Amino acid sequence: MKSMYLCIILLHLLYACTGRSHEEAMTHHKKAISLYRSSQYDQAILEETKALALDAHLAEAYCIRGLSYLKTDRYDDAIADQTKAIALDSATYLAYYGRGLAYASKGEQDRAIADYSKAIEIESEHAEVYYSRGIALGKKALLDEALLDYTRAIRLNPRFGAAYHARGVAYGLKGLHDHAIEDHTKAIEMGFIDPEVYASRGAAYIRQSN
């Protein structure tokens, strides 16, 4: 009888400790999110590492640490963390998207496209995922597919200047210079101010006149 009571007490203690560890882990995780949003990526990595030391099953901590690794060009570490996040929670679109970005940064466009597609399968309302998949498709010279993704991104976010510019580049490569000029102009109107936008629009004007 005493041994049964002892087991119950030990279980209660275990659950209490586990609960406290999870709460402390979440405190570090929330701090990491704030640091990530303020572009303090190294500090975010440290906070998520502390979180994971307290709760190794915190998928969102692997995800944010993975995104922070991505921002500091540690692509293999980013892939490893997002893969762990996916293993713990396969329904998190952000982990697939983050891993796709890391693969794309390594030049592995097929893997990037596969992960972007999985992210879209989970949640289809994120313009940046369509845009990123369009970029990867464009790098494989799959211009029609890329154009579809840029257009989807713009429909979801009509002020997405980078998507207008990318679509303009794709139109230019297909010889559709009127459309290219229109999109580059729209990108500028949306505040996407980059020398490449003006250079691309200038090139489209020249090709249009020939």
Kindly list the structural domains of the chain, giving each domain's residue range(s) and its CATH number in brackets, ordered by start. Answer: 23-124 (1.25.40.10), 129-210 (1.25.40.10)
Q: What is the pLDDT of residue 177?
A: 96
Question: How much is the average pLDDT of 3-20?
Answer: 47
Distance (Å) of CA 87 to CA 58, 62, 77, 191: 11, 10, 15, 39
Residues 6+ apart with CB under 8 A from 118: 93, 96
Q: Report residue 208's pLDDT band, with 50, 70 and 90 as the boundaries.
A: confident
Q: Report residue 4's pLDDT band, with 50, 70 and 90 as the boundaries.
A: low
Q: Residue 170: which of 201, 196, 144 has the closest Cα? A: 144
Does pLDDT of 133 surpass 50? yes
Q: Please tell me the least confidently modeled range out of 11-25, 113-127, 133-147.
A: 11-25
Question: How much is the average pLDDT of 139-147?
Answer: 98
Distance (Å) of CA 90 to CA 2, 119, 121, 203: 43, 10, 12, 44
Q: Report residue 68's pLDDT band, with 50, 70 and 90 as the boundaries.
A: very high
Q: What is the pLDDT of residue 7?
A: 46
How far apart are the C-alpha atoms of 151 and 135, rounded to whole Å? Answer: 12
Q: Report residue 14's pLDDT band, with 50, 70 and 90 as the boundaries.
A: very low
Q: Please tell me the least confidently modeled range out of 16-20, 40-44, 99-103, 114-118.
A: 16-20
Q: What is the pLDDT of residue 17?
A: 42
For the CA atoms of 194, 155, 125, 36, the dihedral, rounded to the nearest 10 degrees, stands at 20
Among 3-7, 22-26, 68-72, 193-197, top mean pLDDT goes to 68-72
Question: How much is the average pLDDT of 139-155?
Answer: 98
Q: What's phi and psi for 40, nearest 5 deg?
A: -100, 75
Q: Is the pTM of this model over 0.85?
A: yes
